[in-house]
Chain A
Amino acid sequence: MTNTAAHTARPPLRLAMSSLLRADSIVLLNSKASMAISLLLPIAILVVTTFGKAQARLGGSSLIIGLALTLGLITSSLFGYTLTLAHDRELGVLQRLRVTPAPTWMIMASRLVVQVIANLIASVIVVIVGSIVHGLTLNAGQYALVLVVAVLGAAVFLAIGQAVVGLVKSTSAVNAISRLLMGLLIVLGLTGGTGLLGDTMKTIADWSPVGALMALFSDVLSQSPWSGQDTNSLLACVGYIIVFAFVGIRWFRWDSR
């Protein structure tokens, strides 16, 4: 339609990737509800915890900002990436992309890159708001480390989201499971990690994705020296990424039928 000679050449990878990145960014920017929730929830937590004794009960400002950052990552990964992927699969968007000469890894990579960048921007905003309302002063090195941990956290929750969408075909079931999962992770993060539910729950929470990330964020924000707990948290995060990414890729289906 656009040129007279029949087209037979594979497109340049850079052109294909930049086209996907631009389209995925537009889709993400248009998903205002998802973006708003993933920013509003963490900021609401930051503000609410400035009242009364909440800050002390929840383990101090570093832990609270860590919790807010972690919840922001969960929300945007499970409601942004996972639901959009499930929805696009159901509508046939993924199959339509798959019949183009773009490699399939590129179709997924573009979505992941856009989501991680969005997570990083949201994380910086949350840290800035958190440091203002909780009176924390951060240096450039801490901001850089927060970004590193945010990338790790985004990878953890995107891998979990990928596993959900890999194992569950129905979009409405993915939606329900994501909500349930998010609720469980929030409860675990809010209560288990603080020790309010006892030592066993605290241990479980410490090793959970939320607990592990909160610990890393908290130690970065409070400039604590590297500890055995940090090593455990890092290993737990890497383990979650490997296991859930494997499940999500191995069982992922491009078609929901």
Chain B
Amino acid sequence: MNSPAQSSVLDISDLCVAYSARTVVDGVSFQIQRGEIFGLLGPNGAGKTSTLSAIEGLVSPKSGRLLVDGIDVQQEPLDAKARLGVQLQSSSFQAELTIEQIAKLYGGLYGVQLSGEQIGASMRTIGLEQELGKRFKQLSGGQQQRLALFIATIHNPLLLLLDEPTAGLDPQSRRGLWRRIEELRGEGNSILLTTHSMEEAQAVCDRVAIIDHGVLLTVGEPSELIDKHRDDPRVLSVAHGAPTLEDVFIGLTGSEIRD
């Protein structure tokens, strides 16, 4: 457990993740402070989801140390998971369960017992009160995303991990999610999110890290990164006018299209 002086909710040191002989995360280190929104940016296949998977306990790192609130993820995975809220990139809930049943299931798994009234009230705040009795498979993509975020925060976690949370959402839903992320930070939660959207990174993240080929290229506040790399020839070569965060991103990670 952290002492008051230690304010890191996540401390990653020299993390390496490999699938067979292929290293996908190579020596990544960063910390996330309490109440901070941290964005992990990178092209497809850069190592963002693998980094998150290691924190979530879905993959075992080849080496390195992962501490959540001072708890070693590999030594005490269940204690670490109790402190995490997770929204996976392609997660789903049992299609046959209704929203209320899903909320009760995940509430129970996180040690939170919810009454029907409490679930109803929570659904009102995210605009799903009319869908309470609907099964997961009957919800639209945006509704599923809102439910997934509700479930990820059902136990008010210390650290919320969001893997491309706004992918596939319309602008209204995306703005709604950004507002919710800001609210969560206001409630004292720390958030680690991965995204492809520079607009999103600049709008909601206190600090961002750019990762490519499993290696962390740079970390800092969005404005800091722009200042730091504004004279980099790779950035200047892709900038149209004053460099933006997207120019920094493309300058550092290259212009080729990734699948």
Hey, which bits of chain A sit against chain B, CB under 8 A? 1-12, 15-16, 18-20, 22-23, 26-27, 30-31, 88, 91-93, 95-103, 254-255
* CB atoms of B122 and A2 under 8 A apart: yes
Which chain A positions have C-beta within 8 A of B6? none
Hey, which bits of chain B sit against chain A, CB under 8 A? 1, 56-58, 69, 78-79, 81-84, 86, 88, 90-97, 101-102, 104-114, 118, 122, 125, 150, 153-158, 187-189
Which chain B positions have C-beta within 8 A of A22? 101, 104-105, 108
Q: In the complex the two chains form, what is the Cα distance from A6 to B86 in whole Å?
A: 15
Across the interface, A7 reaches (CB within 8 A) one of B94, B106, B156, namely B156
* CB atoms of B157 and A91 under 8 A apart: no
Across the interface, B155 reaches (CB within 8 A) one of A7, A18, A27, A95, namely A7
Min CB gap A81→B, angstroms: 14
Residue of A nearest to B159 (CB): A6
* CB atoms of A99 and B84 under 8 A apart: yes
With A3-B112, A102-B109 known as contacts, the answer to whether A27 contacts B97 (CB < 8 A) is yes
Q: In the complex the two chains form, what is the Cα distance from A154 to B158 in whole Å?
A: 42
Min CB gap A114→B, angstroms: 12
A-B interface pairs (CB < 8 A), number: 131
Nearest first, the 6 closest Cβ-Cβ pairs linking A and B are A19-B108, A11-B111, A7-B155, A91-B92, A30-B96, A100-B109
Min CB gap B123→A, angstroms: 11
* CB atoms of A8 and B105 under 8 A apart: no
With A2-B122, A101-B82 known as contacts, the answer to whether A95 contacts B91 (CB < 8 A) is yes
Q: In the complex the two chains form, what is the Cα distance from A23 to B97 in whole Å?
A: 7
Which chain A positions have C-beta within 8 A of B97? 23, 26-27
* CB atoms of A27 and B78 under 8 A apart: no
Which chain A positions have C-beta within 8 A of B92? 91-93, 96
Min CB gap A253→B, angstroms: 11
Which chain B positions have C-beta within 8 A of A93? 91-94
Q: A19-B106, A99-B88 are in contact. List 18 more A-B contacts (CB 8 A).
A: A1-B153, A1-B156, A2-B118, A2-B122, A2-B155, A3-B112, A4-B187, A7-B110, A8-B158, A12-B111, A19-B107, A23-B102, A91-B92, A92-B88, A96-B86, A98-B57, A99-B84, A100-B109
* CB atoms of B101 and A95 under 8 A apart: no
Which chain B positions have C-beta within 8 A of A100? 81, 106, 109-110
* CB atoms of A6 and B189 under 8 A apart: yes
Sampled A-B contacts (27; CB under 8 Å): A1-B153, A2-B156, A3-B112, A4-B156, A4-B187, A5-B156, A6-B189, A7-B110, A7-B112, A7-B156, A10-B82, A11-B110, A15-B111, A18-B108, A19-B106, A22-B105, A23-B102, A26-B101, A27-B94, A27-B96, A88-B94, A91-B92, A91-B95, A99-B88, A100-B109, A101-B78, A103-B78
